[in-house]
Amino acid sequence: MFDFKLQVFQSVASRLSFSKAAEDLHITQPAVTRHIRQIEAHFNQKLFKRKGNSIALTDAGKLLLSHSKLIFQQYEKAEFDMNSLIDKNEGNLRIAASTTIAQYILPEVLAKFHQKFPKIRLHLLNMNTEKVEKSVMNNSVELGFIEGQSKNRELSYQPFLQDEIVLVVDKSHPLAKQNQISISELKEIPLVLREKGSGTREVILKAFQHKNVKMEELNIELELGSSESIKSYLSNGHSGSFLSINTVLKELKHGDLYIVDIENLQIKRDFFFIQQQGHHSKLNAVFLKFLQHHYNF
């Protein structure tokens, strides 16, 4: 069937290797080659080009890959929706999420999930990244969502959403109308940061390390335990803070806060969901499948 040929193509396109695609699909390499040639004959276009000992997608291949991803996403969504009609899942799902994700990302997803699976009772705990990891490891919760970059061998980490951390100031701050500042100028600005153990803080400090800027060089005047408390504090008009773009969308829209770009510094990160290695409960799988359809990761 043509959908299997597309699956073969997508495997070759993602791995950029006929042999690795054959291993993934448990078929022979000549079979992979045959399927690709049949698709090329169908469209009368080459999908791959040789680059020395490697292969690369042609423009036609790139276009087909984008369409095939959408096709398989629709297949998965159809299967998910059809199965949910007869689904008997019920029970308690305990989730821990770091502050930014718990307050600004998950509530919308949880509401939609509850509509689809009303018999699954959700329990969301809000804590910093360090405590989320500990809660997953000691079985206090089945599933965790974090914003940090730490890696624990007992846990599996899967990115599901990209985030950006930006420097924001109050509308009354002198820098509110300034497009960009240098890192040297940043060192003079009083900063409010999240507390130790916060994923946001960890990502910020690592970004400065890459720029050879030590924490002691920053003018940190206060540490607070949540984005909401930081936003309230910024109304003093003389401080700045690094916050997730997801936490300040409303304030940016209303003109209460302004983003100040920093020359040659952009802080991006992934949000992750975490589980114990080898631990994949049925309710976890149902929720993560729903999350996958929501964010298309």
Domains (range + CATH), the chain: 4-67 (1.10.10.10), 83-160+271-295 (3.40.190.10), 164-268 (3.40.190.290)
For 255-279, how does the pLDDT look when each residue is reduced to its tens digit (9 = 90+)? Answer: 999 999 999 999 999 999 999 887 7
Tokens of 48: 């791959």
The residue assigned the tokens 């997508």 is: 10
* pTM for this prediction: 0.63
Model confidence band, residue 87 (pLDDT cutoffs 50, 70, 90): low
Confidence of residue 139 (pLDDT cuts 50, 70, 90): confident
% of the chain at pLDDT higher than 70: 93
Say yes or no to pLDDT of 218 above 80: yes
Instruction: List Cβ neighbours of 126 (8 Å cut-off, separation of 6 or more).
Output: 96, 97, 98, 99, 102, 103
Average pLDDT over residues 149-173: 89
- Judge whether residue 282 has pLDDT over 70: yes
Rounded distance between C-alpha atoms, residue 166 and residue 277, angstroms: 33
Contact in structure between 130 and 248 (CB atoms under 8 Å): no
122, 97 Cβ separation under 8 angstroms: no
Residue recorded with tokens 């984005």: 227
C-alpha 157/C-alpha 276 separation (Å) is 9
pLDDT band at 284; cut points 50, 70, 90? confident
pLDDT tens column, 180-212? 999 999 999 999 998 887 878 888 999 999 999
